[in-house]
Amino acid sequence: MKKYFAILSFLVSISTYAKDKVLTAQETDSVWMVNNYTKQEVYIPMRDGKRLFTSIYAPKDASEKHPILMMRTPYSITPYGVDTFRAFWKTYYMDYCKEGYIMVLQDVRGKFMSEGEYMNIRPFNPDKKGKETDEASDAYDTIDWLIKNLSNNNGRVGVYGISYPGYYATMAALSGNKYLKAVSPQAPVTDWFSGDDIHHNGAFFLMDNFGFSSSFDKPRLSPTKSYARGYTYPTKDLYKFYLETATIDSLGKIIGEAKPYWDELSSHPDMDDYWKARNTRNFVQYIPDSCATLVVGGLFDAEDCFGALNLYKAIENKAHNDNRLIMGPWAHGFWAKDSGAYLGNIRFGRNTSVDYHKIEEEFFNKHLLTNGKYLWPKKETLHMEKQIFVTGENTWMAIADKDKADKRAIKYYLQSNGKLDTVSCSDNKNPDHYISDPTHPVPYIDGVITSRTREYMDDDQRFASQRPDVLSWQTGVLKEDVGGLGPVTADLFVSLSTSDADFIVKVIDVFPDDFSYPDSVKGNGKGYVMGGYEMLVRAEVMRGRYRNSLEKPEPFEPGVITEVKYKMPDIAHVFKKGHRIMVQVQSTWFPLMDRNPQQYVNIYKAKPEDFIKTKVTIYHDKEHPSHISFPELYFCAPPVK
């Protein structure tokens, strides 16, 4: 779930005049903005009579016609008041203002100052009749109103949004409005059961959901400019808090006014029609050919890594528009508010977010500008369908889908004595095992957990390697670079002493013992010991009962060897010569995700006494070749400079 308060903090930070001393360039731009733009606030009527509150920042220049760039959000379009401007000058969005864009921000239906009732991930209705509405129709009606009522617009509209607003951007693309020419869903919510925010393969992401929902899902009684307060934790130690609170049901009793939505989630424990109707990938075939899409995501996005990758793939498979993908080494939304030079302890050697800004601006300029000042550059930055930043190698690569056939899967087999090798398993039938104890779950990071960190996505896993309930296998020192680009497949042969368990598989880059970054490479400045660092490249959970189907859960038969095979989100990483590749397997990841009682009961209604230990056995012989695999990195074009 969205890191709500972090997002709100960011929005507020860019939403008001700077009262304190800021950089001279920002002061100059703020003065320029006020002198060259006007702001108006309007209520735009929808087809059912409800009105959506909208802020419009328009250039004073009437000598030419201007494109419209819009964001629709449930997080408030603060600041309110025609005399108080959003501080576009503190972000790269100022480039659009300098280019003369009309910038439009809108509170979505039922949030903040807009009328109507709010619904989380309101399902898309492809067969709307009369005054029936959904988020696509609200986008359609807004665009129509803007085109008909804003003077000096050029008849071309673009929509963008990060995170939840990324979902609203996708809904705009589904609207079919002829004036909408370009949409950029960024870290978009797409599927809240399979891999975004609320669940990953059916496992409930506990800490994010409770913290977010306790504020965001409080009913709004009337339009407001204020944010709702969330739950006040009795301790800063959230591992302790969630362990002692014990169950999802117990959390529902203290979540307060947000309980109706908490109960709504709990009433849909499996992938059913409720979740399918809220999966935007099921409807992207309605995106018209005339609407280009630029899907953006972070390789280390804790919330919506799944969403960006899989929305792009769905559009490729179902639609026929100009569809592109950008994936960088970013946490959630960091391409818009950070240099992108590092994340946590891992450094990337360049300001990757600045690289991205040029790409996004080219995309919207290409499709929206008609004044003759801008032509698609001869040396296009966005000249391939996909641009992906490859970590380890630390460079942008342009990748074409037509080259999929040139990739081969690299398989790494789990073996005895903690070895990981590309050679198939031996006749050794001595499996590995651990005891998973839900009363003593594996923490998702080291140290006291006071919040859900962004950096856990590439964090050091040495603390987990020391746990008896985490199994590790690693290769020898690599004699050459090994690159992976694409989804990781985890294929485990397991048995349990009970009827259910979770499986968290981690792919890890183990740095040499003498490794350190040169001072010239920008980092976080904390002086963390990087020798022997165990960098998390990708990790994902499979709730065991969903191993064969997210729709039809089934228990394990105790003691019976069972295959658990699933795809993890894509990686784009080079394990460098001199490094090692490690795989870890565990069954708890707390309090990032909820605890499985490790027996086949309804987890949402589980009582504390339902949580029991289980013995997890991992097999790796010829008949049961547990392994991970990923497509070999293949470069179809030289690095993008």
In angstroms, the CA 78 to CA 113 distance is 10
Peptide bond into 591 cis (omega under 30): yes
Same domain, 393 and 430: no
Would you place residue 424 in the very low, low, confident or very high pLDDT band (cuts 50, 70, 90)?
A: confident
The position carrying tokens 């005049």 is 17
Would you say residue 218 lies in a domain? no
Number of structural domains (the chain) is: 2
DSSP string, 236-262: S-HHHHHHHH-SHHHHHTTSGGGHHHH
Would you say residue 390 lies in a domain? yes
Same domain, 343 and 413: no
Position 384 scores a pLDDT of 55
Same domain, 388 and 435: no
Position 435 scores a pLDDT of 98
Closest CA to 397 of 226, 572, 250, 543: 572
Q: The domain that contains 443 carries what CATH number?
A: 2.60.120.260
- The whole-chain average pLDDT of the chain stands at 92
Would you say residue 636 lies in a domain? no
pLDDT at 353 over 90: yes
Same domain, 453 and 527: yes
The position carrying tokens 């006020």 is 34
Q: Which structure tokens are listed for 491?
A: 């294929």
Position 25 scores a pLDDT of 76
Same domain, 193 and 287: yes
Average pLDDT score over residue span 535-554: 98
Average pLDDT score over residue span 314-335: 97
Q: Which domain holds residue 103?
A: 4-202+270-399
Parallel/antiparallel/unpaired status of strands 562-575 and 420-421: unpaired
| Cβ-count burial 192-228 (b if 16+ within 10 Å, e if not) | bbbbbbbbbbbbbbbbbbbbbbbbbbbeeeebeeebb
Position 525 scores a pLDDT of 81
Domain boundary among 374, 399, 424: 399
Would you place residue 10 in the very low, low, confident or very high pLDDT band (cuts 50, 70, 90)?
A: very low
For a pLDDT cut of 90, what percent of the chain falls above it? 87
Would you say residue 245 lies in a domain? no
Q: What is the CA radius of gyration of the chain?
A: 25
Same domain, 59 and 168: yes
For a pLDDT cut of 70, what percent of the chain falls above it? 91
Under 8 Å CB-to-CB from 60, ≥6 apart: which residues? 36, 37, 38
Average pLDDT score over residue span 611-630: 97
Would you say residue 486 lies in a domain? yes
In angstroms, the CA 398 to CA 383 distance is 8
In angstroms, the CA 195 to CA 149 distance is 40
Same domain, 420 and 512: yes
Would you say residue 213 lies in a domain? no
Position 338 scores a pLDDT of 87
Same domain, 416 and 385: no
Would you say residue 394 lies in a domain? yes
In angstroms, the CA 486 to CA 412 distance is 15
Helix (H) or strand (E) holding 28: helix 24-36
- Residue 556's identity, in one-letter code, is F
Q: Yes or no: say if 186 and 160 are a contact pair by the CB < 8 Å rule.
A: yes
Question: Which of residues 519 and 147 earns the better pLDDT score?
Answer: 147
Position 15 scores a pLDDT of 43
Chain segment 253-283, per-residue pLDDT in tens: 999 999 999 999 999 999 999 999 999 999 9
Under 8 Å CB-to-CB from 98, ≥6 apart: which residues? none
Chain segment 133-172, per-residue pLDDT in tens: 999 999 999 999 999 999 999 999 999 999 999 999 999 9
Position 407 scores a pLDDT of 60
Same domain, 386 and 419: no
Domain boundary among 399, 422, 437: 399
Same domain, 189 and 137: yes
The position carrying tokens 């908490």 is 262
Same domain, 417 and 381: no
Residue 294, number of CB atoms within 10 A of its CB: 25
Would you place residue 427 in the very low, low, confident or very high pLDDT band (cuts 50, 70, 90)?
A: low
Residue 268, number of CB atoms within 10 A of its CB: 16
Same domain, 610 and 576: yes
Q: The domain that contains 335 carries what CATH number?
A: 3.40.50.1820
Q: List, in sequence order, every residue forming a beta bridge with 581; answer none if it has no partner.
A: 509
Would you say residue 260 lies in a domain? no
Q: Which of 151-160, 322-331, 391-400, 478-487 has the lowest mean pLDDT?
A: 391-400
Domain boundary among 373, 399, 425: 399
Chain segment 23-53, per-residue pLDDT in tens: 567 889 999 999 999 999 999 999 999 999 9
Specify whether the backbone of 116 is left (phi greater than 0), alpha (psi in -120 to 50) or beta: left
Q: Which of 85-99, 257-271, 361-375, 526-540 has the lowest mean pLDDT?
A: 361-375
Helix (H) or strand (E) holding 389: strand 386-390
